[in-house]
Structure 1
Amino acid sequence: MAPRRIIIDTDPGQDDAFAILLALGSPEELEVVGVSTVAGNVPLERTTLNAQMVLELAGRADIPVYPGCRRPMVRPLFTAEYVHGDSGLDGCDLPPPSAPLGAKHGVDFIIDTVMAADPGTITVCTLGPMTNLAMAIVKEPAIVARIREVVLMGGGFFEGGNTTPAAEFNIFVDPHAAHVVFSSGVPLTMVPIDCTYKAVMTPDWLRRLRAVGTETAVQAAGMAEFYQRYGNQKFGTDSYPLHDPCVMGFLLRPDLFQGRDCHVDIEIVSPVTTGMTVVDWWGVTKKPANCLVLRDLDNPAFYDLMLERLSRLP
């Protein structure tokens, strides 16, 4: 079978970097046709630079990076240096990128790629706020019927939120964008923190990753060790989840994940619960499902997969 063609829309972020590396380490299954960047974990200039550096770390400077939206659709930008460090990729030491940026805006890249491809052949993976994809849908609604699937890391329901009591970071940063996407009719799979909190990275796994000894593995281990410090402070544990790689894990091994089709609404009005993903898990509203919501995963098998795929990179 030909690999699934994917666009990665991202705001790196250490866990975004792991997602990108997992995709690049899986060329038989996933073809990364391009990367669009968005403001989120850190401002756009930095997320763009980080995406370039991660691609070059993996020896894939040939994959173009297209800077997208600098701010959310309606709200001011809220960033997460308190988690990821000032650079967004603290914990590693990567040289400046050598490849030039793509020659179009990230929103136009998404539109042009989807419209040029055969219908149903492009999957969009959103690892940050959904601003670029929402703006693409607003600018060219015809992409909705042509996208194979959108797989997003974002949201939470049973676990509440990780940025406010109700809202997960990616949705909270741009809830209006999420509302556009979730109400568009595009096929959706949501990987919320209800699932990703179970994707626990252990100290033993980190030691195994560093022991691989390649430049990619060593730099990735450094990123993860920095990222883990926030988990140590928040949860009081030496284990912490890597959220965004679960998107690629689902594409590679959907059998490792469990969930159900649900109706999901995005709260955009309440000052208390803005950004909440309201998941009708039990079907009480009788509204038609608009999203596959993942809730569980096989954590040991997921991390074995990620270690094996990262070990393939230089």
Structure 2
Amino acid sequence: MARKVILDTDPGVDDALALFLLLASPEIELAAITTIFGNTTIDHVYTNVLKIYQIVQRYLDANPEDMPRFPNLSREPRTILARGAARPLAGELGLAEYYHGPDGLSNISQTHPEFDLSQNSGENHPPLTISSKPAHEVILDALDQAPPKTIDILAVGPLTNVALALGKSPTTLGRARRIICMGGAFESPGNTTASAEFNFFADPYAAHEVLKAASQNVISLFQIPLDLTRRYVVPFAEMIPPEPDKNSLIQYFLSALLARPRRAHQILGHKDEQRMHDPLTAWFAIQHAEGDHLRVEDGWSVVRRVFMIEREGEWTKGMCVVDRRGTKETQGTNRSKSGIETVASADSSISANSSPAMTVNVVTSAPANSTFSKVLLERVFWHIKRKNAGSGDSDKCTQF
């Protein structure tokens, strides 16, 4: 049986690619999609999920022979969609519209009005069950109604919804088989500030609460940081044909979706390729749909890392702070307040409760980028014909 997955997401360009990948993956069953502010506002991200479902449905209505490509669109019961938090647990609201556009999907609502949901709301209603409950309650309901350790939570946005579920019922959240989160940066530079990855920057308080619970074994969690995801890329030329086919709705939509990030990469001086933060995290969930909740498949590796999350820094908000001093002090010790006090000499109960440090399963390596990109291109970008320079075989090549 397919593994049930709750996707907590803030589409977002790479979130959209991750959702396409999950819709096309028979290994998992999308039990619910819970939306969270982040790449843009909660209203936009919620609409973006509806828009993606509608576009896939409209494509399949015109091309019913491709229905097997999207097993998660026709499963019963239908995937539940719920609206989540509009703001972080504390602090200012920060969005990533600078990259994803004001609507989160490269501003295609303005540049490509044919994709505007409001103009097509009467056509092909997305095959989703709309919930009136807040996202964190939908998460808890799904876990409460299923046997323990049978549902994975895939969190690819700020961790606010997960933190709210944790605060309401840590025991119920602990029924999740595993929580897989994309977030944080260690040795890698940040992608929002010099030191912070966006999801942890957007709500460092939520990240702290969730990862602290993982450190205390309240929940089972795997963190996939920017250090790993930024190494997984697909050239834009592999995903955007020179002349996108307007008659192929998915191809035309994805080409429009990727246009703004491509321009942003040119401005920033990056290579002409899309970094696959959320799709790689989704691939981890797909590849680990079976087996024990602590097992890691061949090609992947996990390290237990000790660190703290900065929640208020002017320049370091959301930073994963690693104590590199190498002493026998409690991690994160501030000597100006506590003096020099080793773990052995301190009262252990006080140290455990007062230390901001946590120990978390961090995914540090994955199978080759070529293996990942092959899966993504075959499942999401199959509609782009690729020519083999030597043989003319269009099925085996990855170059136009």
SS at match of 2:193: coil
Deviation, structure 1 residue 201 = 2.0
The worse-fitting range, judged by mean Cα deviation, of 78-87 and 261-270 is 261-270
Per the alignment, residue 75 of structure 1 pairs with 91
Per the alignment, residue 379 of structure 2 pairs with 309
Per the alignment, residue 31 of structure 2 pairs with 33
Change beyond 3 A, Cα 1:204–1:272? closer
Question: For 1:269 and 1:45, how far apart are their aligned partners in 2?
Answer: 27
- How many residue pairs end up in the alignment? 311
Q: Do 1:12 and 1:88's aligned partners in 2 also have CA atoms closer than 8 Å? A: yes
- Which of 182, 192, 214 is matched with 1:153 structurally? 182
User: TM-score w.r.t. structure 1 length?
Assistant: 0.89
Question: For 1:180 and 1:242, how far apart are their aligned partners in 2?
Answer: 26
SS at match of 1:262: strand
Per the alignment, residue 222 of structure 2 pairs with 189
Give the % identical residues.
Answer: 31
SS at match of 1:77: coil
Deviations 1:40-66 (A, max 9, x none): 111100010001111222333842310
Is 2:126 the counterpart of 1:113? no
Look at both structures and tell me which one has the larger radius of gyration over its CA atoms: 2
Per the alignment, residue 201 of structure 1 pairs with 234
SS at match of 1:6: strand
Matches of residues 20-59 of structure 1 in structure 2 within 5 Å?
A: 20-27=19-26, 29-59=27-57
Is 2:223 the counterpart of 1:173? no
Matches of residues 1-314 of structure 1 in structure 2 within 5 Å?
A: 2-27=1-26, 29-59=27-57, 60=73, 62-90=78-106, 92=108, 93=112, 94-96=115-117, 98-99=125-126, 101-185=130-214, 186-207=219-240, 214-253=248-287, 254-278=297-321, 289-295=359-365, 297-311=367-381
Q: What runs of 5+ residues in structure 1 fail to find an aligned partner?
A: none
Deviation, structure 1 residue 294 = 2.7
Change beyond 3 A, Cα 1:256–1:224? farther
Q: Do 2:300 and 2:363's aligned partners in 1 also have CA atoms closer than 8 Å? A: no
User: 2:258 is matched by which residue type in structure 1?
Assistant: A
Q: Which has the higher contact order (CA 8 A, sep 6+)?
A: 1
Question: For 1:155 and 1:288, how far apart are their aligned partners in 2?
Answer: 13
Q: What runs of 5+ residues in structure 2 fail to find an aligned partner?
A: 58-72, 288-296, 332-342, 344-356, 384-400
Question: For 1:283 and 1:56, how far apart are their aligned partners in 2?
Answer: 54
The worse-fitting range, judged by mean Cα deviation, of 176-185 and 248-257 is 248-257
Question: For 1:68 and 1:115, how far apart are their aligned partners in 2?
Answer: 19
User: 1:204 is matched by which residue type in structure 2?
Assistant: A
The RMSD of aligned alpha carbons is 2.8
User: TM-score w.r.t. structure 2 length?
Assistant: 0.71
Per the alignment, residue 336 of structure 2 pairs with none
User: 2:92 is matched by which residue type in structure 1?
Assistant: P
Deviation, structure 1 residue 21 = 0.6
The worse-fitting range, judged by mean Cα deviation, of 221-230 and 117-126 is 221-230
User: 2:314 is matched by which residue type in structure 1?
Assistant: P
